[in-house]
């Protein structure tokens, strides 16, 4: 893991209690399994893959939407009003989810672009890098995480996802500042000294500055290599 990705992952570990990450993981798996079981009972003749995919999304929404200690849950309508999506908030961090096949990118959606605006500080070009206070989105959040639920392949157990990845998307969702399997993130809670798993009040400005500088250094290195 590169230094910038490691710093983002450490910030998440310091900002979100391990019990919350475990609960999110469990709820994703339970919703995914329930979608498999329900569609297997309902569809005896037609191919169930399409309704199963829809049920995975809705049932994971439902599982994540149940009350969770230390987490604010909001079901938000898309604009124009049609679908709903669930957003979890832990302090200044917001969390959504998306189901997709391995190596695919999430489909473009206005609400996804809106959520990823919270990560705009990390997307080039970077302005106002030395601002004394963090740039925040209109709702006060500082970082958006998406749980990427990777579909199992047809020759695998379809009742469980192939993998769940914790990701921090760019605004355009075509790349990610961080992609780490949730099991690896959970391991960081064990590996990190207990006294470090607590975020001081001034952590976000310091963290933001470090990540921006690392992004710029990385861009300069890429540019030098191209030359």
- Is 88 buried (19+), middle (13-18) or exposed (0-12) by CB count in 10 A? buried
Write out pLDDT tens, residues 53-90. 999 999 999 999 999 999 999 999 988 778 899 999 99
Report whether pLDDT(218) > 70: no
What confidence tier does 223 reach under pLDDT thresholds 50, 70, 90?
A: low
- In this prediction, residue 122 has a pLDDT band, given cuts at 50, 70 and 90, of confident
pLDDT number for residue 48: 93
Residues 1-23, mean pLDDT to the nearest whole number? 89
CA distance 7 to 10: 5
CB 24 within 8 A of CB 147: yes
User: CA nearest 169: which of 94, 219, 89?
Assistant: 94
Are 149 and 60 spatial neighbours (Cβ–Cβ below 8 Å)?
A: yes
Confidence of residue 137 (pLDDT cuts 50, 70, 90): very low
**Of 106-120, 129-143, 192-206, which has the strongest mean pLDDT?**
106-120
List, for residues 80-104, the tens digit of each pLDDT value. Answer: 778 899 999 998 899 999 999 998 9
Say if pTM beats, i.e. exceeds, 0.85. no
Confidence band, pLDDT 50/70/90 cuts, at residue 34: very high
């Amino acid at each position: 893991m590169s230094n910038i990705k490691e710093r983002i992952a450490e910030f998440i570990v310091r900002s979100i209690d391990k019990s919350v990450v475990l609960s999110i993981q469990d709820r994703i798996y339970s919703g995914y399994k329930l979608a498999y079981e329900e569609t297997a009972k309902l569809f005896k003749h037609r191919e169930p893959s399409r309704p199963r995919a829809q049920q995975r999304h809705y049932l994971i929404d439902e599982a994540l939407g149940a009350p969770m200690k230390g987490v604010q849950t909001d079901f938000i309508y898309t604009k124009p009003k049609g679908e709903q999506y669930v957003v979890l908030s832990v302090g200044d961090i917001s969390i959504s989810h998306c189901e997709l096949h391995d190596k695919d990118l999430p489909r473009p959606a206005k609400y996804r672009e809106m959520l990823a605006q919270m990560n705009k500080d990390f997307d080039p070009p970077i302005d106002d890098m030395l601002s004394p206070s963090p740039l925040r989105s209109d709702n006060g959040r500082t970082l958006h995480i998406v749980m990427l639920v990777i579909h199992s392949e047809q020759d695998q157990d379809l009742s469980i996802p192939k993998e769940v990845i914790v990701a921090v998307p760019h605004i355009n969702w075509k790349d990610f500042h961080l992609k780490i399997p949730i099991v690896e993130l959970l391991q960081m809670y064990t590996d990190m000294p207990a006294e470090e798993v607590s975020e001081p009040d001034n952590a976000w400005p310091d963290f933001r500055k470090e990540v921006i500088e690392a992004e710029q250094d990385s861009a300069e290195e890429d540019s030098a290599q191209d030359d």
